[in-house]
Chain A
Amino acid sequence: MDQLLQHLVNGLVLGGTYALLGIGLTLIFGLMNVVNFAHGEFYTLGAYVAFAGIALAGLNFNLAILAAIVVGAALGWLCEVTLLRPLRNESIDTTMLVMIGVWIAMQNGELLVWGGVAKSIPHPYPTAPLVMGPVAIAPLRIIVLVLAVGLIASSWLLIHQTKLGRAMRATFQDRDTAALMGVSIGRVHAATFAFGSALASAAGALLGPVFLAYPSMGDLASLKAFSVVILGGLGNLTGATVGGLLLGIAEELGAGYISSGYRDAVGFVIIILVLLLRPSGLFARQERIG
């Protein structure tokens, strides 16, 4: 029982960042119909920006995370404008191949810049865990969870309370009609990709200090983001949030009670089972954003 509570708390921390990854991908996938295999590379990018900011430039922790968000958004925007915009009317497979290319190029670029050795990202919080009854949790993990929840809430506000968010929801529901109503599809797409990439980058910057930063960390992050999207349903913000938390908890429980070697298999099995049994996602009444 004590173990169970501990696993749940750890799973929640992981799940918060998975939710960030999932929200970014579900927006890109749902709205732009782009299967973004480079999503995890933005996560890696975030972790390295945090590393560069804290360890090399001496920024403070929160500023470094902000820097990761800004860099992720800028590179995401660049990626959309240069690569995806010219291919907007091509099939989903074409853009998927381009994103696979971006994925390979970014990952190996990171390998060239930072080398293959994993980097530990310093953080200002004490390493001694806070003990609350049966649960022990490192202060850093609490901060990570709080920041993740804050970012998820901001995404909600952006989608539901701003003009851009309304344009995004309209584009998701019917791109042509939205365009007829004066929504600039190009700007919505660029904003969506930048926003999704910024969230992935933030997730990397948050989880990087908890674990380590290394060039191939994005591969698993991509697959986890896809598991979350499939679990929650395409373009479904609630689904991605709940799906992320569920995946984090399921992984912790799997690692704790089955075998830690198969921790990452949980995401794969979820993808396979959900797609086979309930392809529209666990929470989808119908596919829509918000």
Chain B
Amino acid sequence: MRALGRGLLAAALVTLPLWLADPYYLHVAIMAGIFGVLALSLNLLLGYAGQLSLGHAAFFGIGAYTSALLTLKCLWSFWPALAAAIALAAAAGWLIGRLALKLRGAYFVLVTISFAGVISLVSVNWIELTNGPLGLPGVPAPDLGPWSLRTKPAYYYLVLSGVALSYAVCRRLVRSRIGRAFVALRENEPLAESIGVDVTHYLVLAAVVSAAMAGLGGSLYAHYTRFVSPEVFLFTYTVTMVIMVIAGGKGTLAGPLVGAVLFTVLPEALRAAASWQWQMLAYGLLLVLLVFFLPRGIVPQIVASFSGHPRSAPGSRAPLR
């Protein structure tokens, strides 16, 4: 039954450009995929390792700028630039992990915000490199051998592979010894440490993998919109990721993806009905309501209601601890 459901879902995703040919819908699907990668990335740190990063837009932006600059100024092709974007974001994740993960809770959050703030100011002020607030137009579309991935269906498959890769990495990590160490640290750090879990090692690892995935998302974004500006560092992106993870269900594999699809499609659907400010206002209220009424998120709630008794879904727990 579950295997059938998964097969159908996979088939639907792979054939999506065939039955959803409208470029606008494909655009929404691509953006949902990019945000899916970002939400998976944040979930690794927030949902499994239990550390809230509010500087995730920094890793996203670093990925986007690295990829854009290397293809524009050094004329690299897309694939090595993508690899470099992932590597540089991972390096930034390592740095933040090394420096900040001895701090916990609010202090960790503040360091991540400050880091994102500094990076954002650098992107505005280092005009020779980044072209300042004007941004970098004309980022080239990627190629795959002789084919250009310029068209929306082609780009959809690229993003879908990115999501699949990120999902596979998360799944492999979470179900391994490493993932169990993450959860142990989240649930009870002194206890985990007392049985020999190396706190710094595992938290830095979580930060590096998470940042690398955000870098992947950034690169995919840069080559899709073909334009990068300091707006990639906007706090709105971080908030969107947080809402996607919390609403979908932190500490679950499917949750962030469900959240990403929901919160990409919903604003688009509401676009005609309400202006952007109203939507952001609704986002804020929604975040408050979620904490009050659906603290574990959509996916754990569904799992709990289907299994007939309110057991907690594996790896999930009431509000963020």
Interface residues of A (CB under 8 A from B): 29, 35, 83, 86-87, 90-94, 96-98, 100-109, 111-112, 219, 223, 226, 230, 259, 261-262, 264-265, 267-269, 271-272, 275-276, 279
Min CB–CB distance A105 → chain B (angstroms) = 3
By beta carbon, the residue of chain A nearest B281 is A108
From the candidates B118, B246, B280, B285, name the one contacting A97 in the complex (CB within 8 A): B246
A111-B277, A223-B117, A265-B117 known; A279+B284 contact, CB < 8 A = no
12 contacts between A and B (CB under 8 A): A92-B105, A97-B242, A101-B283, A104-B280, A107-B284, A108-B278, A108-B281, A264-B117, A265-B121, A267-B114, A268-B117, A276-B100
Min CB–CB distance B314 → chain A (angstroms) = 20
* Beyond A111-B277, A230-B107, 20 additional pairs, beta carbon < 8 A: A87-B291, A92-B106, A93-B319, A96-B106, A96-B109, A97-B319, A98-B288, A98-B291, A104-B283, A104-B287, A106-B284, A107-B280, A109-B281, A112-B278, A261-B124, A264-B117, A268-B113, A268-B117, A275-B111, A279-B107
Judge whether A101 and B117 touch: CB under 8 Å. no
By beta carbon, the residue of chain B nearest A109 is B281
* Chain B positions 284 through 321: 1 when the CB is less than 8 Å from some CB of chain A, otherwise 0: 11111001100100000000000000000000000111
By beta carbon, the residue of chain A nearest B103 is A275
A93-B319, A271-B111 known; A98+B287 contact, CB < 8 A = yes
By beta carbon, the residue of chain A nearest B319 is A94
B105: chain A residues at CB < 8 Å are 35, 92-93
A97-B287, A98-B291 known; A271+B125 contact, CB < 8 A = no
Give the interface SS of chain A, mostly helix, strand, loop or mixed.
helix
A35-B109, A105-B284 known; A97+B291 contact, CB < 8 A = yes
Min CB–CB distance B217 → chain A (angstroms) = 21
Judge whether B287 and A100 touch: CB under 8 Å. yes
Q: How far is the CA of A268 from the CA of B119 in the complex (A)?
A: 10
Min CB–CB distance A216 → chain B (angstroms) = 10
Judge if B110 is at the interface, Cβ distance under 8 Å.
yes
B121: chain A residues at CB < 8 Å are 261-262, 264-265, 268
Min CB–CB distance B240 → chain A (angstroms) = 10
Min CB–CB distance B231 → chain A (angstroms) = 13
B320: chain A residues at CB < 8 Å are 91, 93-94, 97
By beta carbon, the residue of chain B nearest A82 is B288
By beta carbon, the residue of chain A nearest B46 is A93
Judge whether A101 and B291 touch: CB under 8 Å. yes
